[in-house]
Amino acid sequence: MVGSTEEAAIATPVTEKGWATRHALLDAAEEVFGELSYDRASIAEITRRAGVAQGTFYVYFDDKRSAFIQLVKNLNHGLRRHIAGAVSGIDDRLQMERVGLRAFFEYTAGHRALYKVVREAEFVDADIYRWHYRTLASAYSRGLASAMEVGQVADDIKPETLAWMLMGISELLGSRWVILEHREPPEDILDEVMLFIARGFGRPISKGDS
């Protein structure tokens, strides 16, 4: 249990129309929170962009904060699904890292509010902020541990420590390129990142890896 993260939504839709409405509200919330920040965002603006009556908001969310919390959870789930889909079927961990990085940048480019929303989450709801990063790190750590077991990654660094280090690399690279430059990192930048990661994994890097 993660404190207030479990209280984000007060109703689960039971019809296709209900799910569509909830989805529209969260899409609108992503736009509004991303553009205006949490403090300046309003329920009225969210419902206006979603094309629903303001009272409809309260069918699905208790208040603005609960919608914000659910948005963080949706972005987290969406990011993990996108990366998992991209790396599906890849057995080599180094190749998986490169494909996963590119998938992270792709998702961030399509959800630019992710950075602002997550950063604000630290102050809006510390529980969901911790949940976001710990959930990402937990899944990442398991994958790295499996790669260590088969000798694809050196085991002189704990999987959890390595996961947080790699998350830091991807997040700041995304901030540098996707957020500040409004484009995904060029391939030569990704080549350099993969050279660094390969050395960290204790593996020689070949032209095919970079």
This model's pTM is above 0.85: yes
Helix axes 113-124, 64-87, angle to 10 degrees: 130
Separation of alpha carbons 120 and 35, rounded Å: 12
Question: What is the predicted pLDDT for the residue at 11?
Answer: 64
* Partners of residue 61 on adjacent β-strands: 9
User: If DSSP codes are grouped into helix, strand and coil, which group holds residue 9?
Assistant: strand
CA-CA distance, 200 to 156, in Å (whole number)?
A: 10
pLDDT at 154: 94
Round to whole Å and give the CA distance between 76 and 59.
Answer: 23
- For residue 206, the model assigns a pLDDT of 56
What pLDDT, on the 0 to 100 scale, is given for residue 10?
52
- Mean pLDDT, consecutive 10-residue stretches, the chain (210 aa), reads 43 83 97 97 98 96 97 98 98 97 97 97 98 98 97 95 97 96 95 95 61
Q: What pLDDT was estimated at residue 12?
A: 76
Instruction: Indicate the fold that domain 3-200 takes in CATH.
Output: Tetracycline Repressor; domain 2 (1.10.357)
Closest CA to 181 of 110, 109, 73, 89: 109
